Amino acid sequence: MQIIAIANQKGGCGKTTTTVNLAAYLALNEKRTLLVDLDPQGSSTRHLGLDELDKTMYDVLMRGLDIRTLIKNTMVSGLDIAPTNNFLGKAELELASKLTARESVLRPKLRSLDGYDYVLIDTPPTLGFLTLNALVASDMVLIPIQTQFFALMGLSMILDLLELIKNDLGYDIKKKYLLTLFDPRTKMAKEIVAQVRESLGEDVFKTVIPNNIRLAEAPSYGLPISIHAPESHGALAYSSLAKEVIAL
C-alpha cells in the first residue's frame, strides 16, 4: 500500500481536483484506492457526491473512531472515501493543544488498513497540524504547481516542512511535482513549465494538467472527470498521470 499526500499551501493550484481525479483513474486501472479527505472544506467529499455525513475524519482523529467504520463507497468501482466536512476545522486547534504526538495521530490509523493499493490524502491549503499529519502518514507527497506567475514562490515553505519532518521525526518522504492549470496559448505558462522542469528535474511528472472547463465544472455535478467527461483533455491528462504514478 502506498500513501500519497496531495499538498500545497497555495490555494487554487488544483489540489482537490488532482486528488479526486487521480484517485478515480487509479481505481479504473484496477488499483483499490481510498481517498482520505483531510481538508475541512470537504471539497473532495462533495466532489464525489457526498453531503449527508454522520461521521467524519474529525471522529477518526479526535475521538478514536476506527477509520474503517467511516469509509464509504463511491460511484467509481474500486474507489472508496473517508469523508469530512467543516467540523474538521476544530481538529486543527485541538491538535495544536496536544502536548505529545500531535503530528502523528493519523499515521497509525492509515498504516493499519489493508486491502488498498493506494491511499490519497487531500490536505488543507495551509501547513498546520492537519497537513503535518498527512505528510507524516505518507510515503510520498505530490505537490501541484500552478503554471502561473509566482508559481514557485512559497514552494520553499512546504519543502522546509518536509526537511523538518526528515531531520526531526525521521520520515524521508518522497517528493513529486505536478504542473497544473496549463494554458498552452500563453507564453508565460510555457516559460513556467520550462523553469519548473529545469529547477526540479526528474521529480516533475511528465503529464501536465490543462486548464480545462470540463475539469472545472465536474465538481458541480458531484462526479470525477472520468465519468463527467471521459474524452476531455482533462480526463486524458489524469488518466496519463495515474499511469505515471503506477509506474513509480
Rg of the chain on CA atoms, in Å: 17
What is residue 148's predicted lDDT score, i.e. its pLDDT?
80
Q: Where are the domains of the chain?
A: 2-142+211-247
SS (H, E, C) 185-197: CCHHHHHHHHHHH
Place of cell 476506527: 66
Residues of the chain with pLDDT > 90: what percent?
A: 76
Average pLDDT over residues 200-219: 95
Average pLDDT over residues 211-237: 95
Residue-wise pLDDT for 148-195, tens only, equals: 877 777 688 899 999 999 999 999 999 999 999 998 888 888 988 998
Gap between the Cα atoms of 20 and 148, Å rounded: 22
C-alpha cell at 28: 479504473
CB 193 within 8 A of CB 179: yes
CB 133 within 8 A of CB 38: yes
What is residue 93's predicted lDDT score, i.e. its pLDDT?
86
What is residue 11's predicted lDDT score, i.e. its pLDDT?
72
Q: Given CA atoms 118, 224, 48, 106 in this order, what sign does their dihedral have? A: positive
Fold of 2-142+211-247: Rossmann fold (3.40.50)
* CA distances (Å), origin 189, targets 37, 126, 145, 148, 200: 30, 25, 11, 6, 16
Q: Is the pLDDT of residue 112 over 80?
A: yes
> How much is the pTM?
0.94
Q: Is the pLDDT of residue 86 over 90?
A: no
By C-alpha distance, which of 65, 68, 63 is closest to 114?
68
Average pLDDT over residues 56-72: 94
What integer best gives the mean pLDDT of the chain?
93
CB half-sphere exposure, 70, CA atoms < 13 A:
26
